[in-house]
Amino acid sequence: MPRKRRGRRRGKRRIGQVPQNRCFSASQADEEEVVLKVEEVETLRLVDLENLNQEEAASKMGVSRKTLWNDLKSARKKVAKALTEGKTIRIEGGNYFLGEEE
């Protein structure tokens, strides 16, 4: 019997660029990896590097503020875990598209 989905399907996020570096590791990295989705990296870039507020960043990505906040919270938690526990960070997957229009 197929599993029923709960809630809405995850919508695509607009990103400005695909990260060139897809893997980061500590010198003595644990074998376990933390996987960041491409759109999570984009939220970190827009909010933490470009200093956009969440409303501006959400608009650039074509999502709601709540969706952006959820992606940002998830990304920050994953990065903090990798840094404090010495885990490798791998960037892959997600549901995104490049540019202005889908």
pLDDT per residue over 32-80, tens digit each?
A: 899 999 999 999 999 999 999 999 999 999 999 999 999 999 999 999 9
Mean pLDDT of the chain: 86
| Whether the Cβ atoms of residue 40 and residue 71 lie closer than 8 Å to each other | yes
pLDDT at position 94 is 87
Question: Does 28 score more than 80 pLDDT?
Answer: no
Q: What percent of the chain has pLDDT over 70?
A: 89
- Overall CATH class of domain 26-95: mainly alpha
pTM here is 0.78
The CA radius of gyration of the chain, in Å to the nearest whole number, is: 15
- Checking phi first, is residue 73 left (phi over 0); if not, alpha (psi -120 to 50) or beta? alpha
pLDDT at position 37 is 95
| Whether the Cβ atoms of residue 52 and residue 45 lie closer than 8 Å to each other | no
pLDDT at position 102 is 43
